[in-house]
């Protein structure tokens, strides 16, 4: 089994003192109670204990937030100021995020079970980096001069789409907040953000920082609540101009259906994944094992691009299994504030039980459990890093997104077989290739139907690299200039030319 650290025991390391400062809805620049007066509990997955009671937004609160966002878009300064001016405010926002790294990382650790060290090093600074990237892009939004076929002058304008509804998942609360808010703000949009009900704390803190940075009231509204109420109200709202959703494929269908049935608002969807990692015989074994371990177990497997289908060429398969098993057994599972811990708790009891159910299904369907597969720790939602071998393509653990620390290992012979197996899924979010052969890397990367291909690396995210899926992993891109484009309309403007010396 994995080396286990007690999930609730803070002995031997320091847990920062954390005050929960923001628990109300943020609408039109103010923290307010829900119209209904209702609250819901957000819990610490390390122990299952209640952290705080959060105002529970529903349709009435979404209506108020949309009204504020609409007023800010139709009559406020944000879409009318220069891109340069918006960029300066976004840089100030990024400065404030960086000044509160420890506190923000701690919020995501107690709310989502994320490693505190990773929050400080990656998630929160990464959010600030995204703000800076789009701050730099805000004054570079421009159209084109058109070469018309008749005596007319034509050009295009890029205009913000309007009021955007952002529905954010629970696995990366900070990262996903800035994936969505940063380009939309740079484009000049106003917005309503619904953080996941499991992880509302950091989003409310970011709303506070946005106001301090000088983002005008009504531009950025944050309404915690539940999917069937607050999320559904965003998707079906007649005065929201676009919806950006990250989450499950099943809920993505509902969002798209509601958008179509209301005002035909465009949607962008980043949905589920079942990403393959293909390891060829010529790969350095230690490098491959390390990459696959990272791909499968980063963020306790609660990541849409988790490398959960691992295809290893037959020449090194047995050696790979042995080393991968040894590495998984050494992984330390425990309190995510502990700097010695590699893997924290799953997000909540529901997800914890879902993962254990899939592990049981894997065993019943005939896969071989090599290591892990059991709960660990005295309390909280901890699961050992798990490896299955003898996995067949038709098995549930090879086809369905588990969203947990479960690796399914499979063997292949030829490049063609690897490509066929990698594509034998309804998803197409990401894939990894480990090889020293550039020809194999080129062939396979062009053959896999997925939106991100990482060669001899994994989790190759960057603000300039567009990220999004193929097939049932959704459509629309986060990051890069592609993300900015999805929050812009293109308008063609044409005027006649008279007595012009040239067209």
Residues acting as catalytic residues: 270
Cα 137 from Cα 131, distance rounded (Å): 10
Q: Rounded to 5 degrees, what are φ and ψ at 488?
A: -125, 145
* Residue 314, CA distances (Å) to 197, 318, 454 in order: 44, 8, 21
Query: Assign residue 214 a region: left if phi > 0, alpha if psi is -120 to 50, beta otherwise?
Result: left
Structure tokens at 104: 């923000």
Cα 424 from Cα 410, distance rounded (Å): 13
Q: What is the DSSP letter of 491?
A: E
Give the 3-state DSSP-derived string for 314-330, with helices as H, strands as E and coil as C.
CCCHHHHHHHHHHHHHH
Cα 188 from Cα 115, distance rounded (Å): 34
Cross-strand pairs, 471: 427
CA-wise closest residue to 208 among 105, 126, 93: 93
Interstrand relation of 220-222 and 242-246 (parallel, antiparallel or unpaired): unpaired
Q: Report, in angstroms and rounded to the nearest whole number, the Rg of the chain calculated over CA atoms.
A: 24
Cα 46 from Cα 37, distance rounded (Å): 28
Tell me the three state secondary structure of residue 13.
Answer: coil
The answer to whether residues 236 and 255 touch, using CB atoms and an 8 Å cutoff, is no
Cα 453 from Cα 444, distance rounded (Å): 9
Cα 247 from Cα 251, distance rounded (Å): 7
Chain centroid to Cα 27, Å, comes to 24
Residue 15's CB: how many other CB atoms inside 10 A?
15
Length of the chain: 503
The answer to whether residues 273 and 306 touch, using CB atoms and an 8 Å cutoff, is yes
The answer to whether residues 43 and 348 touch, using CB atoms and an 8 Å cutoff, is yes
Tell me the three state secondary structure of residue 108.
Answer: helix
CB-side exposure of 139: number of CA atoms within 13 Å? 14
Q: What is the DSSP letter of 309?
A: E
């Amino acid at each position: 089994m994995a080396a286990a650290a007690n999930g609730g025991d803070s002995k031997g390391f320091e847990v920062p003192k954390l005050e929960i400062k923001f628990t109300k809805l943020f609408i039109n620049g103010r923290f307010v109670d829900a119209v209904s007066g209702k609250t819901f509990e957000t819990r610490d997955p390390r122990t299952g204990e209640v952290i705080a009671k959060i105002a529970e937004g529903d349709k009435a609160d979404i209506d108020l937030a949309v009204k504020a966002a609409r007023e800010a878009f139709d009559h406020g300064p944000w879409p009318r100021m220069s891109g340069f001016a918006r960029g300066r405010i976004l840089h100030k926002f990024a400065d404030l995020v960086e000044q509160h790294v420890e506190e923000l990382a701690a919020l995501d650790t107690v709310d989502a079970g994320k490693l505190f060290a990773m929050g400080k090093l990656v998630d929160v600074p990464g959010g600030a980096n995204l703000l800076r990237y789009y701050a730099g892009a805000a004054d570079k939004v421009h159209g084109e001069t058109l070469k018309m076929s008749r005596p007319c002058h034509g050009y295009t304008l890029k205009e913000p789409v309007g009021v955007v509804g952002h529905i954010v998942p629970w696995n990366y609360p900070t990262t996903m907040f800035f994936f969505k808010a940063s380009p939309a703000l740079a484009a000049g949009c106003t917005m309503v953000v619904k953080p996941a009900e499991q992880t509302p704390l950091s989003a409310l803190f970011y709303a506070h920082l946005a106001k301090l940075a000088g983002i005008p009231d009504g531009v950025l509204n944050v309404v915690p609540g539940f999917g069937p109420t607050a999320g559904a109200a965003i998707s079906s709202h007649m005065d929201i101009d676009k919806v950006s959703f990250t989450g499950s494929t099943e809920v993505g269908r509902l969002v798209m259906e509601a958008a179509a049935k209301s005002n035909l608002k465009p949607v962008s969807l980043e949905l589920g994944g079942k990403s393959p990692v293909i390891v060829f015989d010529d790969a350095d074994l230690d490098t491959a094992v390390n990459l696959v371990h990272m791909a499968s177990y980063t963020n306790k497997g609660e990541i849409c691009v988790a490398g959960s289908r691992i295809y290893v060429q037959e020449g090194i398969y047995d050696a790979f299994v042995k080393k991968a098993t040894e590495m998984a057994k050494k992984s330390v599972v425990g309190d995510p504030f502990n700097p010695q811990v590699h893997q924290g708790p799953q997000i909540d009891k529901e997800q914890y039980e879902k993962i254990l159910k899939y592990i049981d299904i894997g065993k019943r369907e005939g896969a071989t459990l090599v290591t892990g597969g059991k709960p660990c720790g005295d309390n909280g939602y901890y699961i050992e890093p798990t490896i299955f071998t003898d996995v067949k393509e038709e098995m549930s653990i090879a086809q369905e997104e588990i969203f947990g620390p479960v690796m399914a290992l499979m063997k292949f012979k030829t490049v063609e077989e690897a490509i066929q197996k990698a594509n034998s899924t309804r998803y197409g979010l990401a894939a990894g290739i480990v090889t020293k052969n550039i020809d194999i890397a080129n062939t396979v990367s062009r053959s896999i139907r997925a939106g991100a291909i990482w060669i001899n690396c994994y989790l190759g995210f960057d603000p300039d690299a567009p990220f999004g899926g193929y097939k049932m992993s959704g459509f629309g891109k986060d990051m890069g200039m592609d993300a900015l484009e999805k929050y812009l309309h293109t308008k063609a403007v044409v005027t006649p030319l008279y007595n012009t010396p040239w067209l």
